[in-house]
Structures are given as C-alpha cells and as structure tokens.
Structure 1
Amino acid sequence: MRGLSSKVGIVAGGGRGIGAATARRLAAEGATVVIGDIVEEWALDTAQTLRAAGCKVIGMRLDGTSAASQAAIVAAALAEFGGLDFYHSNLAGGTEGDIDVLNCTEEVLDRSFAINAKSHFLATQAALPVLLERGGGAMIYTSSGAAISGNPLQVAYPMSKNALHALVRHVARKFGKQGVRANGICPGVVMTEAVAQHLTDDYVAGMLEAIPHRRLGQPDDIAAAVAFLASDDGEWVNGQLWHVNGGSLLRD
C-alpha cells in the first residue's frame, strides 16, 4: 500500500482476532502501530511478537468505554512516535443476553451501546483533534453486517452498530474538507479465535453453504481492507460502510 511506511496508527482491540491481524498487516506494510486492548496481556504479547520481527510497535491497556483511557492511548502514540495518522477503532461485544426487543434487559442495552457506539465516539473525540492538527488522517471503524441484516435474535447490537454508522457519516461530512477520512468495515462471519470456539462443525458448514463463496472469512481479510483505508491508496474513499463478507450480504 502506498504511504503506510510513513504513518503512525492506533489499533484498538488489537490484542487478538481482527485487531491483531490488522496490527500485523499494518506493521508488515511498514506502519508504526500502537496496540490497545482491554486485556493488556494480549496487547503486550502481540506487540512483543511484532517487535521481535523488527516492527515498530507498542502495546498497552485500553478500555474503549473510558474517555481517559482513549486519551491515554492517543497520548502514547504522540509520546512514543511523534504523531498519529490513523485510528482503527475495532471494538465490539456485549452480545450476551441480547435477544429480541421484549427479552433484552436495559442493562444489556446499555452495555451494548457502551461497547459498540460510545467507545467509537470516545475514540473519535480523542484522536480527531490530533488528526486535524496533523492536516488530516483516517478514522476506520469496525461495524458489522448485523446492522442491516434484520437479525430476529438480536436487537441491541444491531441498534448500536447503526449508531456507529451515523458517526462514520458525521465525521466524513464534517471534517472531510480538513483532510479527515472516516469509513467503516462491516465484516461477515470471520473465524476469529472467539468465534471459532463457540461454533460447531455443523453450524460452520451451514454458514458456508449459505454464502456464495468457497470459505468463511479470516481476520486477514478485514486487515487488508483496513490497511487500504489507512493508506494513501484509500485517499478517495470517505463516508463509506464496506461490507467485507464473502457475498453473504449483497449491497449497492
């Protein structure tokens, strides 16, 4: 990708799964990366592995739902590497107990919005002033195909992801003239460690049968899309929600 070797970025939720794959891809492209994760050990371990391979990476704890923690990871990028060019806000979760609208508790709703909407809002508040001062940059958010698929078995998670889509478009519209690009990626079924351990072989076979592709997603598939959006090659993409899903949802 053009330009990544000169860029400094943050990957939130980068200790495992999609985030770790993204940190690896960005570092392999020559970017300097700060990895944050709610489980500090995961962030530190992933960073150590990449440093051992010669990459410029640090890891630290990040609670995405905390404004102070979001400010701290941006401050770390500035202190360690002198700037910030992109922020990949890759935070999701809170689906336990998220059933239908008549059986989803207020606590579950609040937790889902904290993780899947508020965290991205706080990431933007922390990173955006630095990107603007630098003359521009990229905010890249991980959303989900669940936002538009009409899942009858979840209500809070899709609602919170739609809130994230509004944030993507707001940032793109408001700050695009100042050089900031904001885009979201909506993964399909991606076989991360967390997903794989909860799915039976029969369920995986059923999901594969349902999509027009020969395989399910891998974290590297999403990492490639993030790397493009962070790079100079992605300079003309702004305000978009990309469905990277093997064709499970076919969208204009």
Structure 2
Amino acid sequence: MRGLNGKVAVVAGAAPGNIGGATAVRLAEEGMLVVAADLREATAQAVADEITASGGTAVGRGFDISDEQSYQALIEFTVERFGGLHGLFNVAADLSPQTIGRDTDVISEPVEVWQRTIDVTLTGYMYGIRHALPIMIKQGSGSIVNTMSSSVWMGEPEHVAYQAAKSGLVGLTRHTATLGGKHGVRTNLLSPGVILTETAIRSTTEEFREQIMASVRAPRLGRPEDIAAMVAFLFSDDGAYVNGQSLLVDGGANFT
C-alpha cells in the first residue's frame, strides 16, 4: 500500500489470533510504526514482540477503552514515542462470558450488560476519536477506522446491546468523517462477517461454521488477515478518496 511507510498507527484492541493482532502485524509489514494496545498489556506485548521479531517496529501498551483518561494516555504516549499519529483502528470489544454471554434480547437484557457494552463499543471508540482527531487535524492528515459487525444488518434475536452499540458507530463515523474530512482526515467503518479468529474457532462448532458457510458467497470463511488488509487500504494513500463509508467485509453473505 502506498503512503504507509514510516507512518504511526494505534490498534486499539490488539491480541494474538484476533483481528486487531493481525492488523497490527499487517500495518507493520507495510512499514508503519505500531502501538498495539489491549486491556491486557501482556497480550498487546505479545503482538508487539511478534512484529519486532520479524523486523518491524512496535510497542505494546495496556489500556482500558472504557476509561477516557486511559485512552487519552495511550494517544499521548504514541505521539511522544513516535512523533505523530496517522492511523487509529478501533476494534476492541468485550466478548467475555459475563458480557456478550449475557447479552440477550430487549425484553430481558440486564441493564449492566447493556451499559458495559455501550461503554466499551461505542463510548470507548468516541474517547479514542476525541483525542486522536485534533492531532490528525493539526498535522493535516490521518485515517480512523471503526469496527462494526455484519450482525447489525441481520437483526439477530439476541445480543441487543452489541447490535445497538455497533449501530451507533454509523452516526459516530459519519460525524467524524464530516468533521475531519476538509482537514485531510478520513473516518470509515468496517463490518466484518464471521471471521475465524482464535476465539471464534474455540467457541463455535464445525456444524455452525458449515451453516454459515452455506450463506457466504465465497469458497471459505473470513480470516483476521482479510480485515487487516482492508484497514491497511483505508489507512493508505490508495484509500485517499474513501471517507464516511460503511464497508461490509463478509465474503458476500449480505447484500445491502
């Protein structure tokens, strides 16, 4: 991808085997200086170690996306360490059993599950944008990518908080695209379909994956590297005229 070498990226939600981890690796392969950030610093550092072992430049950093001061400190650390910020990828989500496992329907949803999901997946993304956007506007360039989910378009009978939080990212993304666009800062939204992360492989059966495969207009299910490639494109000069868009990356499972 053109225009990535030497630029600085934050991946907010980077752990081995997931979309964020794969994206951090891909961005480093393209020559970006990467801050891999995750709730658990050890997992973020594992991604950074993988990158540096391959000759790239990366640091791992622990942070809590639901805490504005923590996210602000992450952005400030990045700028102090590398001298700028050119790409922000918001991909963190609370997929723990106590949250996503209790995210039911609108009738029976526990309020604390609803609030926790909104705090992480919507408000947390806003925190990152709030502190990254002024830096990007001042330098006259930058790209922000938020992560939605194809489940929003499907209208699943459960996971109401997850779908509501992810849906809210449409408005947040378009607002940010409008605010930053004239200053050279683009903001876009990726909606992955079923992606075979390590967590997805562990938590689904072969039968389930075969059922999903039947609905996908592709010869395989998605991999974290598929999303990583799209982030690299949207960060790059090759994606310079893409702004405010919601892009499905699901192998053709949904036509919208």
Query: For the superposition of Structure 1 and Structure 2, which TM-score range results when normalised by the shorter chain?
Result: over 0.9
Within a 5 Å distance, the mapping from 1:185-196 to structure 2 comes to 185-196=190-201
Quote the residue 1:50 is aligned against: 51
Contact 1:67-1:126 within 8 A present in 2 as well: no
- Cα offset, 1:250, TM superposition: 1.0
- Cα offset, 1:106, TM superposition: 0.7
The 3-state SS of whatever aligns with 2:9 is strand
Kindly provide the amino acid, as one letter, of the partner of residue 13 in structure 2: G
Residues 1:138 and 2:143 aligned together: yes
Q: What count of residue pairs does the alignment treat as equivalent?
A: 251
Contact 1:43-1:59 within 8 A present in 2 as well: yes
Q: In structure 2, what is the Cα distance between the partners aligned to 1:177 and 1:158?
A: 30
In the superposition, the TM-score normalised over structure 1's length comes to 0.97
Q: In structure 1, what is the Cα distance between the partners aligned to 2:144 and 2:54?
A: 27
Residues 1:176 and 2:181 aligned together: yes
Quote the residue 1:30 is aligned against: 31
In the superposition, the TM-score normalised over structure 2's length comes to 0.96
Unaligned segments of structure 1, at least 5 residues: none
Unaligned segments of structure 2, at least 5 residues: none
Contact 1:183-1:241 within 8 A present in 2 as well: yes
Q: In structure 2, what is the Cα distance between the partners aligned to 1:80 and 1:26?
A: 17
- Cα offset, 1:136, TM superposition: 2.0
Contact 1:96-1:108 within 8 A present in 2 as well: no
The 3-state SS of whatever aligns with 2:35 is strand
Contact 2:218-2:252 within 8 A present in 1 as well: yes
Quote the residue 1:155 is aligned against: 160
Within a 5 Å distance, the mapping from 1:30-179 to structure 2 comes to 30-93=31-94, 94-179=99-184
The 3-state SS of whatever aligns with 2:194 is coil
Kindly provide the amino acid, as one letter, of the partner of residue 5 in structure 2: S
- Cα offset, 1:225, TM superposition: 0.2
Q: Which among 186, 189, 203 is matched to residue 198 of structure 1?
A: 203
CA RMSD of aligned residues (A): 1.0
The 3-state SS of whatever aligns with 1:207 is helix
Contact 1:64-1:120 within 8 A present in 2 as well: yes
- Cα offset, 1:179, TM superposition: 1.1
- Cα offset, 1:151, TM superposition: 0.8
